[in-house]
Amino acid sequence: MRLLFNLLVDSFVISSRNFTLVYILLFSLLLFGSLVNVNQLPNLTAQWIGYGGILLLLFAAMMAGWFNMVAQACVRFLSVPRSQALQQNYVMESIKLFQSFFPGIGRFFGSFSLVYALNAMILIALGYWVRPSWLKANPLLPKAATLPIEQREAFINSLSVGQKVELGEFSLLFMLGALIYGVFWASTLLWPVYVIFYRQGGLRACFSSLTQFFRDPLRYLALILILAFLGLPLFLITGLAGPGNLFLAIALQFLNLLLQVFFAVLIFMYGFQVIGKPLPPEEEDADKPDDFSKPTP
């Protein structure tokens, strides 16, 4: 329990002292928001699939660099005494994290691409499973999604029995699909840690994350519950209160970015403190500050 408390406190300190981690996520949000047209998703043509593949590779590259920055921030904080870490010029240290972005792309792009491709295939499979119900309720969904929360209930009550059944079928299948993907996400939560800290390939990193749950079930489960407790309320508030209020939507999205940084730092801190500290840089990479090797036995 004390370890989890220390992990939360240290993760908050690292997140708050390395605001440059938010800049990459903000840039990614703006970039992909301008490139992705969600209205095209129901009609997956060959052209759209190719375009989606390019976007996935671009996303994997950005996340490989970003997670390498997160890992470097954790290592810098824990590699010196706590009193010294807290007294460092954290503004300059935060800016220096950008030096880890492009090396992270070069070293971990392949593993990140593989894992994100696996995620995409699972989501597409679940999407095609839910798709028949989605198409039946399709005319109703955009209308319900754009209404303020106080008008949404009245809109649903105005529907016919058949329309309510169609929405109910979609809601049930969507929740079941979300549960299936949630189990996969939770069981492979630590894969970026294994890829960057311990130099494992993408599929092996997912398997290692799953086996870590059985090695340390209580703390791993506590970690998942913490992430769910903090993330789910914000997700629901964003979905319910965000539409129709631009200022509130922007504020909630920014808060979500801050939370994503905290989540990423937390899982790397867990890996560093529980799974095993990375070995010193390998001899051929000794001049590179963001090099990580296998954990100590």
Q: Per residue in 213-258, pLDDT tens?
A: 999 988 899 889 988 888 887 777 766 665 556 677 777 888 888 8
Please list the alpha-helical segments (H only) found in the chain: 2-17, 20-35, 46-78, 82-87, 90-96, 101-137, 140-146, 149-157, 161-187, 191-198, 202-215, 217-241, 246-270
Question: pLDDT above 90 covers what percent of the chain?
Answer: 23
pLDDT digits (tens, 9 = 90+) for 176-224: 888 888 899 899 999 999 999 989 899 999 999 999 999 998 889 988 9
Residue 79 is classified by DSSP as S
User: Would you state the structure tokens that stand for residue 56, as one six-digit string?
Assistant: 């996935």
DSSP string across 3-66: HHHHHHHHHHHHHHH-THHHHHHHHHHHHHHHH--GGGTTS--HHHHHHHHHHHHHHHHHHHHH
What does residue 170 show for φ and ψ, rounded to 5 degrees? Answer: -65, -45
Give dist(CA 51, CA 35) in Å, integer.
10
Give dist(CA 113, CA 58) in Å, integer.
9
Question: How distant is the alpha carbon of residue 255 from its chain centre?
Answer: 14
User: Would you state the structure tokens that stand for residue 209, as one six-digit string?
Assistant: 């994350």
Give dist(CA 44, CA 153) in Å, integer.
32
pLDDT digits (tens, 9 = 90+) for 52-69: 788 899 999 999 999 999
pTM, 2 dp? 0.80
